[in-house]
Structure 1
Amino acid sequence: MTIFRPQQLAVSRLAVLALSLHAALPAHATDAEPVPQAKVEVHGSVDQYDARREDTSTRIVVTQEELKKYGDSTVADVLRRQPGISVSGGGPGRGGEIRMRGLGNGYTQILLNGEPAPNGFSVDSLAPELVEKIEILRVATADLSAQSIAGTINIILKRKARKGQRDLKMQAEHSNVFFSPSASLQIGDKRKDMSYSLAMDVRKGSFEQAYDQVEEGWDSAGRPVLQRRAVRQNNGGFRALSLTPRVNWTLSNGDTLSSQSFVRVQRSDSRTEGHWSATLGDLPDYPNDRTWPDDHRSQLRTDLNWMHKLGQDEKLEAKVGLNANRVRNRQHEAGYDEAERRTLDRDVHNDTDGRGVTLTGKYSVSWTTGHEFSAGWDAARQSTDVGRDSLELQGLAGTPVRDDRQYNATLHRLALYAQDEYAVTPRLSTYLGLRWETLRTRSAGSDFSAIRNDANMLSPILQSLWKLNDSKQDQLRIALSRTYRGVDLERLMPRVTRSLNNTEVTPDVSGNPALKPEQASGIDVALEHYGRHGEQASLSVYARRIGDIIHDDTRLAQGRWTTVPVNDGSARTRGVEFDAKFPLRALYARGGNIDLHMNVTRNWSSVSNVPGPDNRLAGQTPLTANVGFDDHFGATLSGGANFTFRSGGPQRISQTTSTYSTVKRELDLYALWKLTPKMQLRVTAVNLLAEPATEVTRYDDAFGGLRSTSVYPFSAILRVGLEVQL
């Protein structure tokens, strides 16, 4: 499959023009430090540089101060307070899926040090103490993957080291149903030609949660035929260790080498128990059920980066990376009849091994005239092997049935790109990027023949920044881009995960080897204001048209209900975002040291082959908002608050399936006491409103319908952390 064929000639001419400009313009010496994205102007030091204001591409940087402010347990908790980002699923302090513009599930690209996060990586498993900063990009850039229909979140692991660094943090968080102590240590040092840093985080936790599940059914005439309820209890715990070591060398010829790794080992286990009662209709096949999941996960990613200066204004960089992940999961399930006799015993072992290698290179040159050019390549190979061993016993005197299956999937990716950023005038700068990317996937298994899919994506990207007046306080951004959404390797495998009580609303889950990437064309426009007293405001709009969208389809196959992802039709999405931050004294002379911030995002979407209303795209969150403040009460005491709102409502998934979720409101407070110059205490209260969450799944066809409603209670969390410089 080749995308953008009619436009390839025109875009290729643009690329040739950019290369011609590079060759024709004279080189002027500059000693600017290399950065992920070209910069037009540099004012002061790197630490003082305001990337959001000065970069031609829209870039929001989450700094170390924001990462630490609320003492969050995961990066996901930090991100839910950022403009245009929401977190679905999970609970406060327990992460969830990251969504930009209300879209997750592959629409939001997650990068680790500028490269796609490896299979098995989860943002809610990453502690903020391991992170240097986070970049949020609303529009794609050619040097990063174009797999970013909603946007990109680039997580930069710890890099900086100061001489004799020894920082220790000890923290505990507690609620009615959750307790987790943790400790993190950061060490680092510098020498003449070498520096190193190591960030380590270790934590454990235990939880217990009771929740209710109700199932209601009706026949083709709409008459009630089913009313039953389950009371469920879920108890468990986890243990995790994470490391991010980094070493930097300066060689005798001026070249630099840097090595950075990310290691995580986690084990979790739990026990879930449910008991059904019925007031109308039958009980499920197993009125009493128990599940004992046991999960072992380990992840490794390591990169070696080399940088060579070709001259004062030219650089060549190359990086090789390796990654591996291993999952050993055991799911032991048992079903009992009303007399508590065991009528089902199922023991499933899922072993997943992933391996990957990446090779990237980049040539860049810059001139003092405000013109920067770079070009490079990005190649990767990723493979996943899955083994599923199942032993099942049905009935009081049944015969054990063994079902062993093997699956594997491989992804090859090759990308070439060029980008040119030029300050046309002091008030107008442009960015022109072109990225060609080819994807080849192959999946095979013991129960199906090998299936191969090839896709070629040509992604032209045009961005412009226009400062509207001489004071440079107001500026306009316009961007056009072509992006795509790839397919997770594990979704290409038709491995079936069986549900215990199989129904239309609790189906089995399977992959689909025939899935193709989605492609999107989009436009972004933003108007920004920067005041003299530090105030900042932005109003932006966006629109995307997406083809070959993927949605879940629930169907009856071989006597069991199964959900399978399929490509089906197209979709449109659009939205408006507003965010602002400013010191209160900019409005009120006696505002003191109070800083205010607020943001709100409204998203709309529709899917062509899903009937409306509420046929939103991929569970898109319609409305998200944050408002809060920070106050410096004195030299040793500061604090603040943040209120988060995320809308819910009904959504149509397919012709037969729909969902509903409640509104989510969270109120967080924090306080920081500087006890000594090298010791401080941070106290945070999370989710003080403690509102329960309701999730509904509904299935309707010509024969009737079934609805499942689950209500999850949440409680407030108290975090206390002590931070010490040793």
Structure 2
Amino acid sequence: MYILSPIRLTLLATALAAAFPADAQETPPAAASKAAGAAAQEMQKVEVRGNADSYDPRRDDTATKIVVGQAEIAKYGDTNVADVLKRVPGITVSSPNGRNAEIRMRGLGVGYTQILINGERAPNGFTLDSLAPDVIERIEVLRAASAEFSTQSVAGTVNIVLKKTVRSGQREFKLGARAGSGLSGPTANIQVSDKLGKMSYSIAGSVMAEQFKREVASDEQGYDPSGRPAVARHTDGDENGRLMLINLAPRLNWTLDNGDTLTSQSFVNSARFRNDNRETTTASLGTSAFYPALNSSLRSDNDVVRTELNWVHKLASGAKLDVKASLIGGQNTTDSRRTTPPGAARPVDNLVHLEAEEAGTTTVGKFSKTILKDHALGMGWDAGYSVREDSREESEAGRLLLPALPDGETSDSRVARLALYAQDEWNLTPRWSLYLGARWEGIRTRTTGNTFSTGRSSSYVWSPVMQTLFKIPDKKGDQIRFAVTRTYKAPSFQQLIPRRQSAIDNRSTDPDFAGNPDLKPELALGFDASYEHYWAEGALVSISASMRRIDDYTRTLVDFDGARWVAMPTNAGRARTRGLELETKFPLKALMKDAPAIDLRASLSANWSRVEGVPGPDNRLDGQTRLSGNLGIDYRRGELSTGASFAYKQGGTVRVSERQTSFIVPRRELEAYALYKFTPRQQLRVALSNLLGQDFVNRGSFVEEERGLVVRETRFKAGPSVRATLELKF
């Protein structure tokens, strides 16, 4: 771990600035000429060849990057961005119950993949399930860290860029509906943009309403210390719920008289979730359940507002200053209630009310300049301050439980963050480029509450980054990449606050949760290498390998404190992970000259890991996917476009601790879509999802002292569904 004081970092930045003086000679701009007559035809031929070799960020950027554009985002008519990402090579999407999707790269667990919106971290409480693809311009997937973005990206970074493109007179409207497998509901999207002199504007918005009904089944098996069956229980549940999502992303652009640009962009996200569940538990062996019949309900309201002002100033020397200031606010209210039917042997009427409010401000700036002809120098800062207030009240039959405080359990968290960075992308030769960057990032957290003592956490991480791209001579389209990065994963609010969150049916497989104010950030040293072969227009074959060494790895341990089972995050030594990825995509015409307009794509990822603080076997990183793959095909003929995608995730056992294991159930997802263009302004898109009708399954086990092994599995029923969307331009 590298730790630098702000003074030492300031000296470093000064030294870098001195090494690259502002008055260095810059490359003169290329002169453009116009030809007439017969020369115009020759100029047209040059442009055609230029398009064939046009800039491609995946191929030409020194930093490893996959860019998913609007066409790919809209292809399957997805209603949330998490569904889009599951078809991106190297990304897996995990969901314990079909909702609250977790985005993972390199098979690592939740939290190791950094999620950004317009280059900034998403607010706490925000979920990708609530973000509509129609407000997104592109998605950037960075497999290795860069100094410009936060290095809280052990596995990688997903940067979601909201819509920026403005076209004069653009008017688009989409109206859709989804049905199947207990799901039903409409969707509506609108995109309006225009230019008014030196000002332009765009508004992207979406609304989705969905109702769902499904069955949930759970089984619990218990074995005594000698291995003999002692408990067998089965639970049947019926869920009924509804979801309402609203996204709005307005944007204003001004071009000033001096050539500067000023941009105002906002983002509003609102989610309303309601769910009612009725459970009945029967015991075929051993004692009956503590609550044989239990009803539960959940009400959750979440709102996020983010607005930013971006100023871009071009200096006379050819340099550019890009400054952005943002305000972020959000609130969440959750009511979770559990009741038993009248006449129950153990009556319960438990209500947990949670409220959270967060407000913050950030400022990001970057100075960039091309110097010494082949150096693209950048320096900048990223600072922020946020305040979060949480409250929790728990009552039984209308009476507040201990501690019975007037305002419940309250906590106040304040986070100050500062980062400074410098980077240089250097074209050593026409075929060899080198990226060098350094970022110092410090985070200070202070948490106070009325039921625990004040907790403070402070971490300072120095992250050097190196990436290089070498295009092999005499091998058109062949290139090699290599990267060395220093990244980290900071503890979340929930992991630091020592307040306990209780589970009504407390047991080893459903424990209470308590934060750990002494939790330290996880530090990772990473190496990435890849070989890429571009063998035809739109054709790629890639093989890449990665390695991460993670110090102070955090795992959640479950223990019995004498009265209740409690889960708490704890730093548990070192972990190592390795990965191998294969990817290819190409049009069929690259193999057969007269082939139909078919595009094929495939990817395969394998991952291995070992946690030193956990005895084997299966002492892997919690939640790591060992093997995953994607297959896809797209076909175009006339006004019809169609395609299909298949995703596979291998299952396996993960040993979380000496007594706790989890089991990842294999998952197979098959999807298909069809798009028919009636006119250039009218088209219909139909998409089918979960065609194999696979359920969502969670399985885990725990060895309890004096009781033996307890195995629990929960299955959320799911099936195929269809979406139809009418898309209009006017």
Same-fold call, TM > 0.5? Answer: yes
Question: In terms of mean alpha carbon deviation, does 360-369 or 12-21 score higher?
Answer: 12-21
Between the aligned partners of 1:622 and 1:14, the Cα distance in structure 2 is: 42
Task: Report what 1:654 is aligned to.
Answer: 657
Match of 1:512 among 516, 521, 525: 516
Task: Report what 1:38 is aligned to.
Answer: none
**Can you list the C-alpha shifts for 1:222-280, whole angstroms capped at 9, x where unaligned?**
22211111111111101121101111111122211101111012211111111111111
Task: Report what 2:192 is aligned to.
Answer: 187
Instruction: Give the Å deviation of 1:702.
Output: 4.1
Between the aligned partners of 1:666 and 1:242, the Cα distance in structure 2 is: 27
Cα distance, 1:712–1:572 mapped onto 2, change above 3 Å: same
Between the aligned partners of 2:236 and 2:255, the Cα distance in structure 1 is: 62
Task: Report what 1:69 is aligned to.
Answer: 75
Query: Are 1:384 and 2:383 an aligned pair?
Result: no
Question: In terms of mean alpha carbon deviation, does 581-590 or 424-433 score higher?
Answer: 581-590
- Partner SS, residue 66 of structure 1: helix
Task: Report what 1:37 is aligned to.
Answer: none
Match of 2:687 among 684, 687, 700: 684
**Can you list the C-alpha shifts for 1:403-440, whole angstroms capped at 9, x where unaligned?**
62111222111010000001100111100000011111
Cα distance, 1:98–1:167 mapped onto 2, change above 3 Å: same
- Map of 1:156-171 to 2, 5 A cutoff? 156-171=161-176
Cα distance, 1:546–1:692 mapped onto 2, change above 3 Å: same
Task: Report what 2:642 is aligned to.
Answer: 639
Equivalent residue letter for 1:676? T
Match of 1:439 among 428, 432, 443: 443
Q: CA RMSD in A?
A: 2.5
The answer to whether the 8 Å contact 1:30/1:367 transfers is: no
Cα distance, 1:30–1:389 mapped onto 2, change above 3 Å: farther
Instruction: Give the Å deviation of 1:589.
Output: 3.1
Cα distance, 1:405–1:353 mapped onto 2, change above 3 Å: same
Instruction: Give the Å deviation of 1:659.
Output: 0.8
- Partner SS, residue 689 of structure 1: coil
The answer to whether the 8 Å contact 1:580/1:598 transfers is: yes
**Can you list the C-alpha shifts for 1:156-215, whole angstroms capped at 9, x where unaligned?**
001111111110011111112111211000111112211111101011111111121111
- Partner SS, residue 495 of structure 2: helix
The answer to whether the 8 Å contact 2:4/2:460 transfers is: no
Instruction: Give the Å deviation of 1:350.
Output: 0.4
- Map of 1:286-685 to 2, 5 A cutoff? 286-311=291-316, 313-336=318-341, 339-340=343-344, 343-367=347-371, 369-393=373-397, 402=404, 404-557=408-561, 559-634=563-638, 636-685=639-688
Query: Are 1:58 and 2:64 an aligned pair?
Result: yes
Between the aligned partners of 1:176 and 1:31, the Cα distance in structure 2 is: 59
Cα distance, 1:68–1:656 mapped onto 2, change above 3 Å: same
Q: Give the gaps of 5 or more residues in structure 2.
A: 32-48
- Partner SS, residue 475 of structure 1: strand
Equivalent residue letter for 2:566? T
Equivalent residue letter for 1:309? K
Between the aligned partners of 1:13 and 1:112, the Cα distance in structure 2 is: 29
Query: Are 1:85 and 2:91 an aligned pair?
Result: yes
Cα distance, 1:194–1:46 mapped onto 2, change above 3 Å: farther
Task: Report what 1:28 is aligned to.
Answer: 27
**Can you list the C-alpha shifts for 1:3-23, whole angstroms capped at 9, x where unaligned?**
3679x9999989946851455
Equivalent residue letter for 1:605? S
Between the aligned partners of 1:243 and 1:665, the Cα distance in structure 2 is: 33
Between the aligned residues of both structures, percent identity stands at: 41
Match of 1:174 among 167, 174, 179: 179
The answer to whether the 8 Å contact 2:572/2:613 transfers is: yes
Between the aligned partners of 1:200 and 1:17, the Cα distance in structure 2 is: 44
The answer to whether the 8 Å contact 1:649/1:661 transfers is: yes
Equivalent residue letter for 1:550? T
Cα distance, 1:30–1:22 mapped onto 2, change above 3 Å: farther
Between the aligned partners of 1:296 and 1:559, the Cα distance in structure 2 is: 33
- Partner SS, residue 340 of structure 2: strand
The answer to whether the 8 Å contact 2:622/2:654 transfers is: no
Between the aligned partners of 1:593 and 1:305, the Cα distance in structure 2 is: 42
Task: Report what 2:712 is aligned to.
Answer: 708
Between the aligned partners of 2:162 and 2:89, the Cα distance in structure 1 is: 21
Q: Give the gaps of 5 or more residues in structure 1.
A: 33-42
Match of 1:131 among 120, 133, 136: 136
After TM superposition, the score normalised by the length of structure 2 is 0.93
Instruction: Give the Å deviation of 1:705.
Output: 1.8
Equivalent residue letter for 1:521? L
Between the aligned partners of 1:311 and 1:47, the Cα distance in structure 2 is: 31
**Can you list the C-alpha shifts for 1:530-563, whole angstroms capped at 9, x where unaligned?**
1233311110000000011111111113511111
**Can you list the C-alpha shifts for 1:673-697, whole angstroms capped at 9, x where unaligned?**
0011101000111111112233211
Instruction: Give the Å deviation of 1:55.
Output: 0.4
Cα distance, 1:641–1:523 mapped onto 2, change above 3 Å: same
The answer to whether the 8 Å contact 1:348/1:390 transfers is: yes
The answer to whether the 8 Å contact 1:384/1:490 transfers is: no
Between the aligned partners of 2:370 and 2:197, the Cα distance in structure 1 is: 28
Between the aligned partners of 1:169 and 1:368, the Cα distance in structure 2 is: 50
- Partner SS, residue 295 of structure 1: strand
Instruction: Give the Å deviation of 1:495.
Output: 3.2
After TM superposition, the score normalised by the length of structure 1 is 0.93
Between the aligned partners of 1:161 and 1:276, the Cα distance in structure 2 is: 57
Task: Report what 1:122 is aligned to.
Answer: 127
- Partner SS, residue 449 of structure 1: coil
Query: Are 1:99 and 2:99 an aligned pair?
Result: no
Equivalent residue letter for 1:52? R
The answer to whether the 8 Å contact 1:393/1:400 transfers is: no
**Can you list the C-alpha shifts for 1:593-621, whole angstroms capped at 9, x where unaligned?**
11100011111111111111112113111
Between the aligned partners of 1:241 and 1:87, the Cα distance in structure 2 is: 22
Cα distance, 1:497–1:676 mapped onto 2, change above 3 Å: same
Cα distance, 1:368–1:715 mapped onto 2, change above 3 Å: farther
Cα distance, 1:195–1:390 mapped onto 2, change above 3 Å: same
- Map of 1:207-286 to 2, 5 A cutoff? 207-286=212-291
